[in-house]
Amino acid sequence: MHDLTIELGDRPGALAEMAETLGAAGISIEGGGVFTVDGRAVAHFLFQDGEAASSALLAAGIRVTECRPVLVRRLDQERPGQLGAITRVLADAGVNIEAQYSDHDHRLILLVDDAATASAATAAWS
Cα dihedral angle (103, 105, 109, 115), rounded to 10 degrees? -140
Q: Are residues 38 and 87 in the same domain?
A: no
- Per-residue pLDDT for 115 more than 90? yes
Q: Are residues 36 and 23 in the same domain?
A: yes
Select the more confidently predicted residue: 77 or 49: 49
Q: Are residues 48 and 94 in the same domain?
A: no
User: 32 and 19 in contact (C-beta within 8 Å)?
Assistant: no
Its domain, for residue 121, covers 71-125
Q: Are residues 65 and 80 in the same domain?
A: no
How many CB atoms within 10 Å of residue 31? Answer: 21
Q: In what order do the strands lie in the sheet with 40-47?
A: 31-37, 40-47, 2-8, 63-69
Residue 87 maps to which CATH number?
3.30.70.260
| ∠ CA 121-103-91, rounded to 5° | 25
Q: Are residues 21 and 42 in the same domain?
A: yes
Report the alpha-carbon distance of residue 80 to residue 24 in Å, rounded.
Answer: 40
Q: Are residues 24 and 77 in the same domain?
A: no
Q: Are residues 65 and 93 in the same domain?
A: no
Instruction: List pLDDT tens digits, range 26-71.
Output: 999 999 999 999 989 999 999 999 999 999 999 999 999 999 999 9
Q: Are residues 63 and 121 in the same domain?
A: no
Q: Give the predicted TM-score (pTM) of the model.
A: 0.91
Phi-psi bin for 3: left (phi > 0), alpha (psi -120 to 50), beta? Answer: beta
Work out how many domains the chain is built from and give that number. 2
* Spatial CA neighbour of 46 closest among 62, 32, 26: 32
How confident is the model over 66-83, as a mean pLDDT?
A: 95
Task: Give the pLDDT confidence score for residue 62 in this predicted structure.
Answer: 97
Domain boundary among 51, 69, 87: 69
User: 10 and 36 in contact (C-beta within 8 Å)?
Assistant: yes
- Per-residue pLDDT for 77 more than 90? no
- Reported as a pLDDT band with limits 50, 70 and 90, residue 116 is very high
Residue 9 maps to which CATH number?
3.30.2130.10
Q: Are residues 114 and 62 in the same domain?
A: no
Q: Are residues 19 and 59 in the same domain?
A: yes
